[in-house]
Homo-oligomer: A and B are copies of this chain.
């Protein structure tokens, strides 16, 4: 591959002049510019970005850390990030971690090794303070509440939104309410569980472990949940479900088993994914694409304007009333 020297030689100019036309820096005589362009064409030359990046100490790449890409929650977040990144000519490094500690640390290390200019955490397993230690190498923004921290964040309050959903069920007369969570120990899941236990306590209902399900992400998981429900002697009359996908699965399987929704079983989903509309599912809107977009902007601002301060932005949630409660 030809390099800038070859071009300079062929065009009979210095490398700096070549660099100038490459970058549209200052003025270069039309004549030389032409000769240089021809040389570039002749030798099929392109800049080697690795050299540029080394010199500039900047890569125009931002990493997106997520456990798996195969879920609409993350997919919509990434969509939001991607749209903003495109506007300012940034590339996305997709880092799938499976919530594996080593894989997550590797992303952090990439920041330290200057492979990326910043990173967005969609969901994580490692501790916040492990992450904080890396903010000195570049902006890190999390799509979840991180409290007071050197890590920036965009998030919606999962305690309040779950509280809102459960109160809605209670107001509709439900006392026997089940819960579907994603991870057991995830930060968001913990908030959600707390909202659940607090609200049930407020109406004097006990927590029944057999009404709480974990790892419910996909339609299939919802199907499974309903099957489990069928086995129980006493069943909840309503379910608060962390994912619209899982909620849809519950509805599908409920129909098969002649369980009427919402008469026999009321359901609230989460995220207001497109599938929620199709299923006429009452759900909680979370502004996922906006969250991704804002996450990128916060990171980008810190990269460019050197806005040192971490930024924390809370997004609104909204209960969307449809036909499943």
Contacts and interface: CB of A to CB of B under 8 A. Distances in A.
B279 A50 contact: no
Indicate the member of A79, A92, A115 with the most B CB atoms within 10 Å: A115
A78 to B, nearest CB: 5
Nearest to A64: B94
B49 A113 contact: yes
A259 interface: no
Given A69-B78, A76-B70, A82-B69, A274 B115 contact: no
A229 interface: no
Interface string A108-123: 0110111100000000
Given A92-B93, A95-B91, A249-B278, A114 B78 contact: no
A86 interface: yes
A118 to B, nearest CB: 15
Contact of A278 (B64, B72, B79, B252): B252
Contact of A113 (B46, B64, B92): B46
Interface string A43-60: 000111111011001010
Given A79-B70, A219-B274, A51 B49 contact: no
Contacts of A82: 69, 94, 96
A99 interface: no
A47 B95 CA distance: 20
7 contacts: A49-B113, A50-B115, A51-B54, A69-B78, A92-B93, A219-B275, A219-B278
Indicate the member of A57, A72, A92 with the most B CB atoms within 10 Å: A92
A220 interface: yes
Nearest to A56: B50
Given A50-B50, A70-B75, A93-B93, 17 more contacts: A46-B113, A48-B114, A49-B114, A50-B54, A50-B114, A51-B54, A69-B75, A69-B79, A75-B75, A82-B94, A92-B93, A94-B94, A218-B274, A219-B275, A220-B274, A220-B277, A252-B279
A119 to B, nearest CB: 12
A142 interface: no
A325 interface: no
Interface in A9-62: 46-51, 53-54, 57, 59, 61
